[in-house]
Amino acid sequence: MPSFIKNGEQHIAAMIRAAHAAGRTEVVISGCYEIGDTVLLPSHTTLILSDCHLRMANGTFCQMFRNEHATPGVAHDGNAPDRQIRLLGRGRAILDGGSYNGLSEKTSGKDGMPHITQNNMVLFCNVDGFEIGGLQIRNQRWWALNHFFCRNGHLHDLDFCSDYTRMDEHGNRVVGLDRDLYNQTYIKNSDGIDLRCGCHDILIENITGFTEDDTVALTGLPGKSERLYGADGLSTDIYNVIIRNIRSAAFCTQVRLLNQGGVRLYNILVDGVTDASQNSPYYVGRGVAGVRIGDLHLYGERHSTPEETFNITVRNVFSRAETALRLAGAMRDCHFEGIYGFDGCPCLIQDLSTKE
């Protein structure tokens, strides 16, 4: 076992301050560090993790990384974003959630618990120009990478491995998830990449590994999270996003697109989604879908209209999930091609739009 240097966030923050004081924007760190508080990334910072292992300390309730001005509950000026922030890995670079802290969507904001977004590994809000790549992300405590009102970004070459244990009826923690026993899942909803309201002009590519929930999710659902991490003066729409070469095992969905409550979702290209769950060591059975657009369940004030969900292209999907492509809700000007199933995939395309 490697020896982790405690209070690693202080060391990293000091190196960032020293670099900026010297007129440099690039910081390189190596080694193993335990992170007990959030590392704030200011504008014009490139943090390179070179053969580096960062692990959240036990009992912490905070993100590992956040852009400098993404303060929860503070009004963010959309015209004054943080700019040009890069978090890059070289060699074996690991972000590790460590031991779970019990904070979940059900316990969020209750009995002294903070908001669930404190369990994001990386949270960016109102960032113009960003890059995250070359990282192995392990044991995320909820969604790993979460973005609000971010634009002109590149997320690439990221490998995820969610916790894949459950608590059986005897209180024992056992390996291997089972959809029929979903309530036993130890850490629920541990997505890989999430783009929330206001994100646009972003490329997501070369994503691998296992996620307990969605590997990549674009979810325009204005709610409490957006009130905590909003950006005044900016549209809530999600648009101009390319998602390509997703090769993952997902307990839920590899790529999920969802907008409700008046948020528009448009100009989206999903090209190249390969299901890597055959003979999976992580879970029994199949995922829900390779690609999923819309939902019959109402998460916001109302479902989207065809004028709010449009110009979506999905192609080159290879799936063994329950459904390769699942549609639900109103949409227009969408194009689907090259949807394939293997390993007995029960359904290639399922359209639930008329089953309200």
- Chain-centroid distance of CA 82 in Å reads 20
Q: Can you name the residues that pair with 257 across neighbouring β-strands?
A: 218, 293
Rounded CA separation 243/141 (Å): 24
pLDDT at 336 over 90: yes
| Residue 2: predicted pLDDT | 74
pLDDT in tens, 294-313: 999 998 789 999 999 999 99
| Residue 294: predicted pLDDT | 96
Mean predicted confidence (pLDDT) in 280-286: 93
Rounded CA separation 337/344 (Å): 19
pLDDT at 212 over 90: yes
Rounded CA separation 191/198 (Å): 19
pLDDT at 280 over 80: yes
Structure token digits, residue 226: 């957006």
pLDDT in tens, 216-234: 999 999 988 999 999 999 9
Whole-number mean pLDDT of the chain? Answer: 96
Q: Do 83 and 43 form a contact (C-beta atoms < 8 A)? A: yes
3-class DSSP assignment, residue 309: strand
| Residue 1: predicted pLDDT | 65
φ, ψ (nearest 5 deg) of residue 107: -95, -5
- Least confident span in 134-148, 155-169, 220-234, 264-278: 220-234
What is the CATH architecture assignment of 8-351?
A: 3 Solenoid (2.160)
- Residue carrying the six token digits 């000091």: 14
CA dist 48 → 31, 37, 100, 132 (Å) = 12, 19, 26, 10
- Least confident span in 53-62, 291-300, 335-344: 291-300
Going by pLDDT thresholds of 50, 70 and 90, the confidence category of residue 356 is very low
Considering the chain, what percentage of its residues have pLDDT values greater than 90? 95
Rounded CA separation 284/281 (Å): 8
Handedness of CA 305, 250, 160, 100 (dihedral sign): positive
